Amino acid sequence: MAELRGNIRRRAKKLGFAEVAFVDAGKLPGERAYLEWLSEGRHGEMGYLENHQPLRVDPRALEEGTRTVVALLTNYYQPLDLLEGGLRIARYAHGDDYHKELWRRMRELAAFIHAESGVDVASRPAVDSAPLLERDLARAAGLGWVGKNGMLIRQGLGSFTFISEILVDLDLGEDVEEAPDRCGSCSRCLDACPTGAIVSPRVIDARRCISYLTIELRGPIPRRLRPLVGDYLFGCDLCQDVCPWNREAPVSADESHQTRPVYRDLSPMELLSFDHDRYVEVFRGSAMKRAKLSGLKRNAAVVVGNVGRAEDVPPLLKRFVDEENPLVRGHLAWAIGRLGDEGDGEDLREAARAEEEPFVREEVGLAVEALRVRSG
């Protein structure tokens, strides 16, 4: 099987995968830690993570007959996450939605395995959409170690990678050893996290994570955490940015992972004016659609509230009057309360005179009081 593994590895590299490894299918050792994490409620509102627990820890349960997992890494690193217009976007979302592109490549690789092996190969491509503990699996395959920030790190490549797998009903054997943990005594990711989401090495409380707050959370961002979100519109790479193993991370030349030109000059204030048609036009085929239009506008309001200036208040007031979504209106009120003065508070109160949503009314009241105290 060594020759077949070599052929698969070469084909995977031609398809754009940075690394490939093989591991015998079996139960993953991370089950206990995963269940403890769930029992502590650290997954927040991501209830889907509670589903299909037996499948997550055993590839054989996910795909009957699986004997080998072909584990793959794809480099998506881009040098900047803060773009010229003021959007700070997690690097994995700069280009096209990675799911479709990686699925296409994995299906092609699966067909190659079938052709090379000469046997009927049952295979299933997966990339973070299947219920599988992928980082645990990639670590077992020898593709790296799981760092204190919970990310898979590979020496020479870093952590800016997509993990994906093909589950194969064929014994391909193993030709790698597990990578040693090279984090040592370093705690830079824990120290750098502004919200304290890394509660201990390799334990992430999603409820405090900026990526969760700006992508997965559907309701209001907790007020105490809004100032800590800073200028992150979608996701957060800070714990990866400070990691020493990413200092030499190679920039991805993959066309599908390049920053979309339309993102470069887009400002948070402009995003606040988007209607559904403009949203679809700009974010079609993008991973950023995960947050939905209301989530992106909510996030943009928080960003403006954190990094904006007093002259942003008049357009924010206009956005407040024109905005139909109460989630966004409430965060716009918060932003005005951060940037304006007492007179703006009166304008906000007048703009919200007919407001019926309790959440928005509460945000307006708090914003007006904050402006009164600041001007006092």
Span 277-311, pLDDT tens digits: 999 999 999 999 999 999 999 999 999 999 999 99
* More confident of the two residues 221 and 132: 221
* More confident of the two residues 27 and 323: 323
What's the distance, CA 98 to chain centroid?
12
169-225: pLDDT as tens digits:
889 887 667 889 999 999 999 999 999 999 999 999 999 999 999 999 999 999 999
Residue with tokens 């918060």: 334
Percent of the chain with pLDDT over 70: 98
Residue 23, SS3 per DSSP: strand
156, 103 Cβ separation under 8 angstroms: no
pLDDT above 90 for 326: yes
pLDDT averaged over the chain? 92
Q: How confident is the model at residue 14 (pLDDT cuts 50, 70, 90)?
A: very high
| pLDDT confidence of residue 175 | 64
pLDDT above 90 for 266: yes
**Annotation says 128 is catalytic:** yes
User: What's the mean pLDDT in 25-38?
Assistant: 82
92-105: pLDDT as tens digits:
999 999 998 999 99
* More confident of the two residues 27 and 330: 330
- Which segment of 45-54, 65-74, 204-213, 324-333 scores lowest on mean pLDDT? 45-54
| pLDDT confidence of residue 117 | 87
User: What's the mean pLDDT in 126-149?
Assistant: 89
Annotated active-site residue in 58, 128, 169, 231: 128
26: amino acid identity, one letter: G
| pLDDT confidence of residue 44 | 85
| pLDDT confidence of residue 340 | 94
SS3 content of the chain, % helix, strand, coil (to 5): 50, 10, 40
Residue 184, SS3 per DSSP: coil
107-117: pLDDT as tens digits:
999 999 989 98
Percent of the chain with pLDDT over 90: 76
| pLDDT confidence of residue 120 | 66
Q: How confident is the model at residue 122 (pLDDT cuts 50, 70, 90)?
A: low
Q: How confident is the model at residue 43 (pLDDT cuts 50, 70, 90)?
A: confident
pLDDT above 80 for 60: yes
Q: How confident is the model at residue 17 (pLDDT cuts 50, 70, 90)?
A: very high
Identify the helix (H) or strand (E) that includes residue 103.
helix 98-117
User: What's the mean pLDDT in 114-141?
Assistant: 82
| pLDDT confidence of residue 118 | 78
Instruction: Give 336's contacts (C-beta < 8 A, 6+ positions apart).
Output: 305, 313, 316, 317, 320, 344, 345, 348, 367, 371
Rank 79-88, 134-143, 222-231 by mean pLDDT and report only the highest: 222-231
Long-range contacts of 5-9 (CB under 8 A, 24+ apart): 5/172, 5/173, 5/175, 7/116, 8/70, 8/109, 8/112, 8/113, 8/116, 8/172
Long-range contacts of 106-115 (CB under 8 A, 24+ apart): 106/72, 106/164, 106/166, 108/15, 109/8, 109/11, 109/12, 109/15, 109/17, 109/70, 109/72, 109/166, 110/166, 110/168, 112/8, 112/11, 113/8, 113/70, 113/166, 113/168, 113/170
